[in-house]
Structure 1
Amino acid sequence: MPRSVIEAVTRFERRHGSCPGDPATVPCSTVDMLTTPDALRDRVRRMAPSAGVTVVTGPVERRLLALGPSGPGPWLLADLSGQPHDSRPWPAWAKDHLRVHDAHDWISWADVDRAGRERLNSPRVLLVGLYKPEIFPLPRFALGIHDLARAARAHLTGRIRLMDMQLGATREDILTALGDQGEAVDVLGLSATFGQHDLLTDILDAVHALPRPPMILAGGSLSARNEQVLLSAYPDVLVGRAAGEPMITDVLDHWHGELDVSGIRFAGHSHHRSSTPTSVTLSRRPSIVVTEDLGHGLPELDLLDATLAAGGVAQLETSRGCTSACSFCPRGHKGSWHGTVSCPAFSGRLLMGFLRPLPAYGGTRP
């Protein structure tokens, strides 16, 4: 167990008159620490019995542990990277709902109001990568859903879980995850690529048949290509039209009632349908400008261990563009470089940051 976690739990429990659990009795692998917020959260909850709320959020290199009391009182915020709180790019919502007492330290007490508590805790988001083995037999690290998870966690809003059908998850597993007692999903994101339309619609039909279906997002190149068809059949679905990071953060703001659906960036919805929604016309989607922030971020690594254990591969993406120029692709930046100006120079450092955790997985794999 990292010392930063132990120190945070100890400080919190001392203030609230209890004794922290022995970390030696709470097993947590290095892999879990690096990659899976829920795994760390579950273990911290066992170590901190006085915590009414336990949140692990933030991107993989800047995890934020937030411990809140059962009743009124200050929270404890710990930046597990060891960097001071004032060096974090806090999301706009935090300004009005969260006040750090000592922003120059990596660990501090903080005032978090009711709205801030709701922000940190909800919604529950499940991001799923679809898969057909006959199209891509070898599992590939699902960059799309991991990039979205990073954006959502950097927004410090909600709990984000990932599933990948490449790794054995089935349609039934997805439906079960949506209805887990006490852990019901509020927002479901489905990432689909070419050749998966029948799988996508099958899952959409099953989800809509649930007593309380979640808010549904459909992303990936296939969803953008088939936007009109999807919105005709499923008018309540939001379809991603470009890189999904701005869309997912806007969806989180919308879920908290702070943004109308029409203000969600790069999202196609029922109001965007053409007068002939059953027709299939190819419209190029203007590509999002890739900012330095988007271009420099590592993806989350939740499913990296499972992907490598399944004999899969992980790739490094330094451009949102593509070397191909497929006629059916809806991307407005196909066949061209689409990255940040400094991305080529940064790619070496990005690669090292991506590979550094791999010894914990049993050694690097080229």
Structure 2
Amino acid sequence: MGPVPAHHLLPVRSEHLQPGMYVAELDRSWLHAPFPSTGFLITGSEQVEQLRRLCHHVYIDTRLSETLPAGRSGLGRMAPRTTAQSATGGRLGAVRQVLSQTVAAVAALVQGARRQGIVDASAVTACASRLVARLVEDAALLHFCLRTEQGGGFLCRRAAGTAVVATTLAWRLGLDRQGLEGVATGALLLDLGKIAVPVPILAKPGALASSEQAYVRRHVERGLGLVAGAGLPERALEMMATHHERIDGSGYPHRYRGTTIPLFGRLAAIADAYDAMTLNRRYAAAMSPHAALRQLEGLAGEKYDAALVDELVQALGVYPCGTLVELDDGRVGLAWTPRPGHPLQPEVLVTHDARRQPLPLPVLVSAAGATGIFRSLPPSALIIGTDVLAAALERERPAAG
């Protein structure tokens, strides 16, 4: 059997496997598994038990499976997102603090790597642990602040943003706390090797020459060299090594194709691309999170794993938290939390009237009916800081007594 088209692959946690499912890919190399690498149909409970002992999850081919998970997927869903009321009481401050701590920790790691040529593994794993702890408590708030907070060097901010997105996607796949921390660790270190790339190349506004491109691409090898022997989780190293590989074989450094790219390398590629698209880069202006998801969907199955892109959309929502949107009545604000069963009608923190004048106080509304979302806007259309959310949350907080 040839490579399975990505849109036919469905990730399923091993505890949800059943006879009748066709396993197309494992979450590890086939070399260490007693199964045919071309894929196989689960025919009995013994195979199920073997898979549960060996794998955290697998990919099944929906075309060849006789049985599919109930409700389409056996994946764990993200815990309920933060509501406006539950975000009061200092949680906004805690989220802002963990983001600034993450950026600062990455800056310290980069400085240490430049000076000493090594990485403090305990520091990066501690940083990943703090980030995961906050994400499982306040996922929506963390994504919101990620889009509205400013500050930090570009490399450090990219590391923090990619870690938030990658960990969110891994959470969607049902990983436990230890697994999430491994993913966060890998995401924080994806571009560590770029410290060896001359700044004029990284900051060049135009297209890079072929020799410059080759220099940049060596950051994967250099990053792995910096963490060699540091005792990092295998999953983190896998992400660093393969996050620039692409489904169609056009990536680097090894031009891996399809499911020969490890699962968490494919996950890292999507998280890295999404975060990059939503930031200003030397050659492209920032997209809205909504537009970035649409672009990823357009590249799904060609450059990126379609099943994982779909899971990211399910995890973040059609209008991810922090997306600048224009309502049907012309008012402008930021997408907040999705409404259950209404993915196109999230709560919106309205900050400006139809003339783009700031409101005296921002207000949370439901994007339904006459106040539906007309379109998403690029981040440059209006600069809105996290302080507007603080004002809205204070207004929503019940009065004492």
TM-score, normalised via structure 2 length = 0.28
TM-score, normalised via structure 1 length = 0.30
Higher helix content, 1 or 2: 2
